[in-house]
Amino acid sequence: MALAPADGYTLLGGAAGIFTILPAQKDKLPIDIGRDFAHVGMVVGRGAMAIAVPPRLGVTSFAEFVALVRAKPGEIVIGTNGAGTLPHYAGLLLQRKGGLPVTLVPYNQGGTPAAVADIMGGRLHATIEATFGLGGPLKSGDLQLIAMMSAERDPDRPSLPTVAETLPGLTAVGFMSLAAPAKTPEAIVRRLNESLNQALETPAVKQRFAELGIPISVLSPAQASAFVDQQRQIWLPLVSELEGR
């Protein structure tokens, strides 16, 4: 896609991992992900990863979860989206940087829904995902949130603690950026940004995103690029460290 004609007709809606994690995993990518894309704007705003558990686990806070994990090293299993995705690396952060002796199971087939199904079946104990990816199980009460991996508490959930309150410095924030080939003329990028932001600001779209719990960030191309670059600077050394590179 990065090598497509730079005419504004071929775009990439890329999740966080494509722009922040993939570059550190692949030594010989045919493109330079940091150089070969022009970020048009944010399709999905900055949403922190959340940790969710079933009520049967018997914990109601992240501090209680940490205590349980440390009391049963290796026995508490967290299922995540596939290996290399942001939820998986959020789990690795907890395990490696946070010192939590959990067992991680990335679901390369089926992703988070498959992990949630195994939680319901009693085969797993927790999952990590953006809250909008857990909407159904949260509404039904099959899962409950115990922490957010944001730097600060979510104003919509002020009673829900952050992981960083117990394990300082551990954050993981997801997003989806709309990107064009890097050589796309600035005027086209600007027009695409205006159209994207207008769509995100329409009442119907805002209402639907709100119903799904999907955050919206109306950003300029420069703001989107700066945010993605900031996240890349955070994750590139972390991924290299976590993978022992």
Instruction: Please spell the DSSP secondary structure of 69-131, one letter per residue.
Output: HHHSTTT-EEEEESTTSHHHHHHHIIIIIS---PEEEEETTTHHHHHHHHHHTTS-SEEEEEG
Please tell me whether residues 37 and 94 are part of one structural domain. no
Round the average pLDDT of the chain to a whole number and report it. 92
Residue among 135, 166, 122 at smallest CA distance from 148: 166
Residues 6+ away with beta carbon under 8 Å from 217: 42, 45, 46, 175
Q: Strand 77-81 and strand 126-130: pairing?
A: parallel
Domain at 111, CATH number: 3.40.190.10
**Share of residues in the chain with pLDDT > 90 (%):** 71
Residue 129 clears pLDDT 70, i.e. is over it: yes
Beta-carbon contacts of 22 under 8 Å, excluding residues fewer than 6 positions away, are 29, 33, 84
Out of 165, 194, 224, a domain closes at 165
pLDDT at 223 over 70: yes
Q: Tell me which of 165, 200, 228 is where a domain ends.
A: 165
Same domain, 186 and 214: yes
Query: In this structure, is residue 87 part of a structural domain?
Result: yes
Q: What is the pLDDT of residue 2?
A: 65
34 part of a folded domain: yes
Structural domain contains residue 193: yes
Distance CA 167, CA 68 (A): 15
Instruction: Let me know whether 57 and 153 are in one domain.
Output: yes
In a domain, 62, yes or no: yes
Q: Are residues 54 and 78 in the same domain?
A: yes
Q: 112 with 50: CB under 8 angstroms?
A: no
Structural domain contains residue 2: no
Q: pLDDT tens digits for 47-81?
A: 899 999 999 999 999 999 999 999 999 999 999 99
Picking from 117, 145, 165, the residue at the C-terminal end of a domain is 165
**108 pLDDT more than 70:** yes
- Answer whether residue 6 is part of any domain: no
The reply to whether 81 falls in a domain is yes
Considering the domain architecture, whether residues 100 and 33 belong to the same structural domain is answered as no
Same domain for 71 and 146: yes
Number of structural domains found in the chain: 2
51 and 105: one domain? yes
Q: Are residues 33 and 61 in the same domain?
A: no
Q: Is residue 128 part of a domain?
A: yes
Cα radius of gyration (the chain): 19
Mean local confidence (pLDDT), 212-224: 91
pLDDT at 1 over 70: no
Encode pLDDT of 35-47 as tens digits: 889 999 999 888 8
What integer is the mean pLDDT of 105-116?
96
The range of the structural domain enclosing residue 217 comes to 12-46+174-242
